[in-house]
C-alpha cells in the first residue's frame, strides 16, 4: 500500500503525522517512510540512524573540443538556451539544461556525449527494527526536485507498505509524490490560512483521483469551517490532534508523540485503518 501525507502549506504538522504513523506501524510490522520533501528533508531528525548514501545523477552534454567544428547546430537545437556556440568555443549552462539528450543526436561530428552530473542524494537507513527511512536530498542550487523524489520512491518500489511525506504546496514535487498513491492524508490546522491551503491540497488529490482524508492538527476546538469544507467536498476528518504545549515541546526536541505518549499509538493505528478503508485495500 502506498500512502502520501501532504499539506497545502508548511508548518501544519505533516511530518509529525508521517513520523507518528510510521512509528506506530513499525511496532507491529515493516514500514518504509520516504522523505520526499527533498529541499528540506527533516524526518531523519526524528529518526536518526546510520545511512547508506548514494548519488542521484542526470545526463548532461560534454563537448569534445577536438571533434567539434563549431557548426552551431547544437546551440540552434537547444530550446532552453543551455548551449551557446561562440567563434572559438561552445558554452554549456547546466542550470538551463533539461537533459533531453537532443544535442547529442543532432551533432554532425558526434562531438557530444552524455556524462552524469550529480543533483542530489538518496540516504537509506533503518532507525528502528521495523522502519526503513529513505531520504531524498536535493543538492543546493539544483532546481531538479522531481528526479530526486522519483529516485527516492523508486528505492521503495518493492516495499509492501510505504508512507511518502510530501513537500508542502501544490507544485510539481507534490504531484510527483502523490501520483500512484492508494490514499492521501491532508494535514491542516484550524486557521483561515490552513483552510485555504487545505482547499488547494484537496484539489490536487482530487485531480489525481486519489482518495483523501483530513487530519486537523493543533486544533483549538474551533474547527467548524474546516468540517463544513470537508463535508461539502466529501472529505472525512480522520483524526484531530489538539493544540497542546507538551505535544509541541516533544516535537521541538525531535521526539515522537506516539513513542513518548503510547496512548496515541491507537489513534495513529486507527488513522491507518481509515486510510486503508478509503483506499479500498483489504487487510
Ligand atoms: S553540434 Fe557538435 S560540432 Fe556543432 S557546435 Fe555543437 S558540439 Fe560542435
Ligand atoms: S540535453 Fe537538451 S536541454 Fe540539455 S543542452 Fe542538450 S539539447 Fe539542451
DSSP per position, 166-208: PPSSSSHHHHHHHTT-SEEEEEEESSHHHHHHHHHHHHHHHHT
In the prediction, which pLDDT does 61 show? 98
How many Å apart are CA 91 and CA 265, to the nearest integer?
A: 57
Opening angle at CA 240, ends 235 and 246, nearest 5: 155
- pLDDT exceeds 90 at position 77: yes
Residue with the bigger pLDDT between 163 and 173: it is 163
User: Going by C-beta distance under 8 Å and a sequence separation of 6 or more, which residues neighbour residue 10?
Assistant: 168, 169
Q: What is the pTM of this model?
A: 0.90
**pLDDT band at residue 282 using 50, 70 and 90 as cut-offs:** low
The x, y and z cell numbers of residue 276, run together, are: 486503508
Whole-number pLDDT of residue 195 = 86
Q: Does 218 have pLDDT greater than 70? A: yes
The mean per-residue pLDDT over the stretch 231-250 comes to 92
Minimum-distance ligand to the CA of 92?
Answer: 2
Please, what are the domains in the chain?
Answer: 2-56+120-279 (3.40.50.300), 65-110 (3.30.70.20)
Mutation choice for ligand 1 from 62, 64, 72, 89, CB with most ligand atoms inside 8 A: 72
Span of 59-68, 82-91, 134-143 with lowest mean pLDDT? 134-143
Contacts of residue 131, defined as CB under 8 A and 6 or more positions apart, other chains included, come to 22, 23, 26, 30, 31, 32, 33, 47
Q: What distance in Å separates the CA atoms of residue 112 and residue 139, rounded to the nearest whole number?
A: 25
Find the mean pLDDT for residues 57-73.
Answer: 97
What is the distance between the alpha carbons of residues 95 and 107, in angstroms, rounded to a whole number? Answer: 21
Quick check: 190 pLDDT over 90?
no
Q: How confident is the model at residue 283 (pLDDT cuts 50, 70, 90)?
A: low
Nearest ligand 2 atom, CA 106:
7
Residue 206 has pLDDT above 80, yes or no: yes
> For 3-16, what is each residue's pLDDT tens digit?
999 997 778 889 99
Looking at residue 93, its pLDDT comes to: 96
* Residues of the chain above pLDDT 70, percent: 99
Q: Which atom of ligand 2 is nearest to the CA of 59?
A: 1
Q: Does 192 have pLDDT greater than 90?
A: no
Atom number of ligand 2 nearest to Cα 104: 6
Asked whether the predicted pLDDT for residue 194 surpasses 70, the reply is yes
More confident residue, 281 or 266: 266
Q: If DSSP codes are grouped into helix, strand and coil, which group holds residue 163? A: strand
Amino acid at each position: 500500500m502506498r500512502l502520501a501525507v501532504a499539506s497545502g502549506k508548511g508548518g501544519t504538522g505533516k511530518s509529525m503525522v508521517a513520523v507518528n504513523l510510521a512509528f506506530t506501524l513499525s511496532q507491529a510490522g515493516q514500514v518504509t517512510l520516504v522523505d520526499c520533501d527533498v529541499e528540506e528533508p527533516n524526518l531523519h531528525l526524528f529518526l536518526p540512524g546510520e545511512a547508506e548514501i548514494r548519488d542521484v545523477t542526470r545526463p548532461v552534454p560534454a563537448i569534445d573540443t577536438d571533434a567539434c567544428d563549431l557548426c552551431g547546430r547544437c546551440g540552434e537545437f537547444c530550446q532552453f538556451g543551455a548551449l551557446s556556440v561562440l567563434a572559438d568555443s561552445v558554452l554549456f549552462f547546466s542550470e538551463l539544461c533539461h537533459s533531453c539528450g537532443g544535442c547529442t543526436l543532432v551533432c554532425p561530428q558526434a562531438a557530444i556525449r552524455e556524462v552524469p552530473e550529480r543533483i542530489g542524494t538518496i540516504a537509506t537507513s533503518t532507525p528502528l527494527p521495523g522502519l526503513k527511512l529513505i531520504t531524498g536530498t536535493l543538492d543546493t542550487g539544483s532546481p531538479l526536485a522531481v528526479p530526486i523524489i522519483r529516485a527516492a520512491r523508486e528505492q521503495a518500489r518493492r516495499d509492501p507498505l510505504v508512507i511518502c511525506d510530501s513537500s508542502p504546496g501544490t507544485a510539481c514535487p507534490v504531484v510527483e509524490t502523490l501520483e500512484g498513491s492508494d490514499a492521501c492524508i491532508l494535514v491542516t490546522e484550524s486557521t483561515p490560512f490552513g483552510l485555504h491551503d487545505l482547499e488547494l491540497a484537496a484539489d490536487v488529490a482530487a485531480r489525481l483521483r486519489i482518495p483523501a482524508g483530513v487530519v486537523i492538527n493543533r486544533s483549538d476546538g474551533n474547527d467548524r469551517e474546516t468540517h463544513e469544507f470537508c463535508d461539502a467536498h466529501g472529505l472525512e476528518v480522520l483524526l484531530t490532534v489538539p493544540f497542546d504545549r507538551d505535544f509541541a515541546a516533544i516535537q521541538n526536541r525531535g521526539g515522537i508523540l506516539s513513542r513518548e505518549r503510547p496512548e496515541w499509538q491507537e489513534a495513529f493505528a486507527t488513522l491507518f485503518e481509515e486510510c486503508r478503508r478509503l483506499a479500498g485495500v483489504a487487510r
